[in-house]
């Protein structure tokens, strides 16, 4: 059964920052606690974007593109593992931004994608 990750309800209404030292609601913490387990267990998840105060690009990049950069998953694996829900129209651009950051993620040299 596919998981559901409601960012505003399960993580924070105020996402921001890339790294743990940037404080609560950072992208690295969200990636490791919520996104990475989905890929590790070969599952799929629906990510609900509604309800947050907004999403800085740096947070989205670190959380989602970080799966490619830091954990070696392929862009296709990441994009296939997550579906996004944005019922409120003003959240819809974030869906496109996430896909863009994953597609543009640079895989570090010498790293092989996780099988």
Partner 1 sequence: MAESPTTWGLLFGVCAYVAGKVAEAAFAAVTSGIAARETRRDTAVIQLEKVVLETRDLAVEYWARPGIDPDQKQRSASIVARLKFAMSLCTELFETHDAYLRVEYKWINFHEACTFGDFGSVDRAAQPERASDIEMTAYALIHEVTTSRYLLPQSLWRRRRR
- How many residues line the site for partner 1 (CB under 8 A)? 23
Tell me if 89 contacts partner 1 by CB under 8 A.
yes
Among 96, 111, 113, 114, binds partner 1 (CB under 8 A): 96
Among 8, 36, 79, 97, binds partner 1 (CB under 8 A): 97
Ranges within 21-60 binding partner 1 (CB under 8 A): 21-23, 26, 53-59
Contacts 24+ apart (CB under 8 A), 100-105: 101/57, 101/60, 101/61, 101/64, 101/65, 102/64, 102/65, 102/67, 102/68, 102/75, 102/78, 103/75, 103/79, 104/65, 105/61, 105/65, 105/66, 105/68, 105/69, 105/75
Measured at the CA of 109, the angle between CA 56 and CA 107, to 5 degrees, comes to 30
Tell me if 18 contacts partner 1 by CB under 8 A.
yes
Nearer CB in complex with partner 1: 61/77: 61
Stretch that binds partner 1, among 1-9, 16-24, 40-48, 71-79 (CB under 8 A): 16-24
> Which residues lie near partner 1 (CB under 8 A)?
14, 16-19, 21-23, 26, 53-59, 61, 89-90, 92-93, 96-97
């Amino acid at each position: 059964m596919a998981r559901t990750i409601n960012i505003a309800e399960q993580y924070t209404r105020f996402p921001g920052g890339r790294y743990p030292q940037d404080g609560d609601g950072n992208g690295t913490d969200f990636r490791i606690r919520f996104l990475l387990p989905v890929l590790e267990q070969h599952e799929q998840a629906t990510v609900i974007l509604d309800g947050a105060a907004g999403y800085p690009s740096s947070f989205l990049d670190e959380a989602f593109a970080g799966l490619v950069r830091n954990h070696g998953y392929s862009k296709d694996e990441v994009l296939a593992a997550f579906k996004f829900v944005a019922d409120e129209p003003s959240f819809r651009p974030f869906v496109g931004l996430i896909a863009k950051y994953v597609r543009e993620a640079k895989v570090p040299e010498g790293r092989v994608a996780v099988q």
